[in-house]
Amino acid sequence: MSNIIETNSTTILLVDDEKILVELMSKRLITRNYIVFTASSGIEALEVLKTNKTIDIVILDVKMAGMDGIETLKLIKKSYPLVEVIMLTGYPQVDDAIDCMRFGAYDYLKKVVDFDNLLVKITLAKQKKLTGEENALK
């Protein structure tokens, strides 16, 4: 399957209720040739995933109004187990980190994230997703 997918095409869904953060991060990712979708809530993120099967990675805020990021993570991994999820939080807490990893998050990062570090995490998460797809085909 990996030879069908262009190695440089990674599709990301950014989910955060902070509109400015989503806009800034989207622009930075798009300039690096990522395909980016956005959502401002967990419910909206699930709708985007339902209508777009090419999403590789979700970058998801932990604390959001309505359905929080941890609940959204659980639903994403239940319906789209191969999609990798990187959790972002402005308020890191050990209990949240443990829950995120237990429910299948790829990583848990502080929201004022070093962008180069985030790019590395995206690359590694995409590699993990491709491996999972290849294993599913075997």
First to last CA, the chain: 10
Number of domains comprising the chain: 1
Strands 84-89, 35-39: pairing is unpaired
| pLDDT per position as a tens digit, 97-111 | 999 999 999 999 998
- Domain contains 5: no
- CA–CA–CA angle 99, 100, 105 (5° rounding): 150
Question: Whole-prediction pTM value?
Answer: 0.90
CATH code of residue 82? 3.40.50.2300
DSSP-derived secondary structure letter, 86 = E
Domain that holds residue 89: 11-137
Is the separation of the CB atoms in 88 and 113 below 8 Å?
yes
In a domain, 3, yes or no: no
Q: How far apart are CA 130 and CA 42, in angstroms?
A: 24
State mean pLDDT over 55-76.
96
Q: What mean pLDDT do residues 40-46 have?
A: 97
User: What pLDDT is recorded for position 134?
Assistant: 87
Residue 49 lies in a domain: yes
